[in-house]
Amino acid sequence: MPDADIARLTDRFMRQIQSRLNRAAPQFDRFHVGPGGGMMLMTLAEIAPARLHQLVEQMARDKSQITRQVKVLEGKGLITRAPDPDDARGWVLSLSPLGETFVAELEHAVADALSNVLAPLSPQDTETLRNLLARL
């Protein structure tokens, strides 16, 4: 049976992180990509080069949403598309050099938000959390 307490605690944890990121966004979101764009860029950094269907799977979003977001991020110079060598009908997506730099800034902003949320934890608790998250 699912653990409702873990669900509530996880939701609260995620909301705290999101709230801190939203407050800090004016300082780091210079391209105005928003939360969805940031998640897509960070996902692409992890799995690139990637086909569109891989982004759809990883982000658990509708293909039309992902397609629109890719076009926006490509228009901002953060994502590049290249012909798929295995499928002439498709494209392979990657971060542009500018996108790579921006992802590094996003990761720093997320790390700052997390450090604030995790401040009450001891270094040992933080290490335990890191190990648990790595297992997931």
Q: Which residues pair with 80 in a beta bridge?
A: 94
Per-residue model confidence (pLDDT) at position 1: 65
Q: Which of 73, 69, 38, 74 shows the shortest CA–CA distance to 56? A: 69
- Spatial neighbors of 5 by CB under 8 A, at least 6 apart, are none
Taking only the tens of pLDDT, the chain with its 136 residues reads 678 999 999 999 999 999 998 899 988 899 999 999 999 999 999 999 999 999 999 999 999 999 999 999 999 999 999 998 888 888 899 999 999 999 999 999 999 999 989 999 999 999 999 999 999 8
Per-residue model confidence (pLDDT) at position 61: 93
Q: Give the helix/strand (H/E) hosting 129.
A: helix 123-135
Per-residue model confidence (pLDDT) at position 59: 94
CA-CA distance, 90 to 105, in Å (whole number)?
30
Which residue type is seen at 94? S
Per-residue model confidence (pLDDT) at position 31: 95
Q: Where are the domains of the chain?
A: 4-112
Q: Per CATH, which fold does 4-112 belong to? A: Arc Repressor Mutant, subunit A (1.10.10)
